[in-house]
Structure 1
Amino acid sequence: MTVAIRSAIPFRTWPIVAAGMLVAIAVGAALVGRLAGIGTVAVPVSPPVQAVELVFSDHRDGSIRVADAADSRLVLTVPSGEGGFMRGVMRGLARDRKMRGLGPDLPFRLERRENGMLILLDPATGREIALGSFGPTNLEAFSQLLPTKDGST
């Protein structure tokens, strides 16, 4: 005995084919856009106009001391409980170095670019942080580390 089971709802294949074609077209358009650079935003690389190499060190009293790598001159001392943004950025960069088995002895490079951007670079790992992305107050925390026109910081 053969039993025929028939669905009460007729199955149509065209919606599935149409959905598949829509997905394929979307993926194809994204691929073409990515490879051709259509619809992407690129910030042109701007040369540095001012730079300083800095060494950051933690101390037992909870302070952070920032020294110029060229002459070991103290640039700034951030007291314990202050400078949360600077502490967070430097903690993240230090963690990245530690995960790669690198020590804290190499200096970081702080650059002001021709387009006005302030960039913190870690030459040991190749990481770059655009500090202006975090707002003017946080930008000021690092811009005070750059020497002024008279040579002081």
Structure 2
Amino acid sequence: MHVRPAPLFAMAALALSSLLLVGWHRFHLPSTPADPVQQLGHKLVKRVDLSFIDQADGGVLVTRVSDGAQIAHIAVGEGGFIRATLRSLIRDHPITKHHFHLAMTDSGQLLLWDPLSGRVLDLKAYGSSNRQVFLEFLLASESRP
């Protein structure tokens, strides 16, 4: 029995070129998702990184990531929109130590995004009262030392 080497070489070349192409593509992609503010063509006016920490009593503690300062406390039975919004962002990767970016653009957009998944929410889409809740977090983070 005689095996022709040409098809084997072609298969090996195809496999090697596929691996090289995937490696090159992964090497040239940014390791973190792009900044959504830049993608939208806006300038950042204000930004804060916030952590939302579940408490033993069922409340949620909102803290500024940079220094751990408490921004707000959401009591049990309150903040339904906040809880639902955060759960929708982290449903693919529920981890305990995680933070979110909250930013205001020069056009007045208030954006909440998850740096792990790259998912971005324009909070205006959820109505003015729901947007206001997150705006208060942004303003409170500036007023607290």
The answer for unaligned runs of 5 or more in structure 1 is: 1-42
- TM-score normalised per structure 2: 0.67
Task: Output the amino acid matched with 1:152.
Answer: S
Q: Does residue 65 of structure 1 match 2:61?
A: yes
Q: Does residue 47 of structure 1 match 2:35?
A: no
Structure with max Cα Rg: 1
Q: CA deviation at 1:61?
A: 1.0
Q: CA separation in 1, counterparts of 2:131 and 2:123?
A: 6
- Identity percentage of aligned residues: 32
Structure 1 contact 51–109 (Cα < 8 Å) conserved: yes
Aligned counterpart for 2:114 among listed residues 122, 127, 141: 122
Structure 2 contact 71–140 (Cα < 8 Å) conserved: no
Q: CA separation in 2, counterparts of 1:55 and 1:44?
A: 24
**Per-residue Cα deviation, 1:73-126 (whole angstroms, up to 9, x for no partner):** 00000101011110100111221223xxxx232321000011100000111110
In proportion to residue count, which structure has more helix? 2
The answer for unaligned runs of 5 or more in structure 2 is: 1-38
Task: Output the amino acid matched with 1:113.
Answer: T
Q: Which residue of 1 aligns with 2:133?
A: 141
Q: Which residue of 2 aligns with 1:85?
A: 81
- The count of corresponding residues between Structure 1 and Structure 2 is 106
Q: Does residue 56 of structure 1 match 2:52?
A: yes
Q: The residue matched to 1:147 in structure 2 has which SS?
A: helix
Q: CA separation in 1, counterparts of 2:139 and 2:121?
A: 19
Q: CA separation in 2, counterparts of 1:73 and 1:116?
A: 25
Structure 1 contact 94–104 (Cα < 8 Å) conserved: no
Task: Report 1:82-121 matches (<5 A).
Answer: 82-98=78-94, 103-121=95-113
Q: Which residue of 1 aligns with 2:143?
A: 152
Following TM superposition, where does structure 1 have runs of at least 4 consecutive aligned residues deviating by more than 6 angstroms? none
- TM-score normalised per structure 1: 0.64
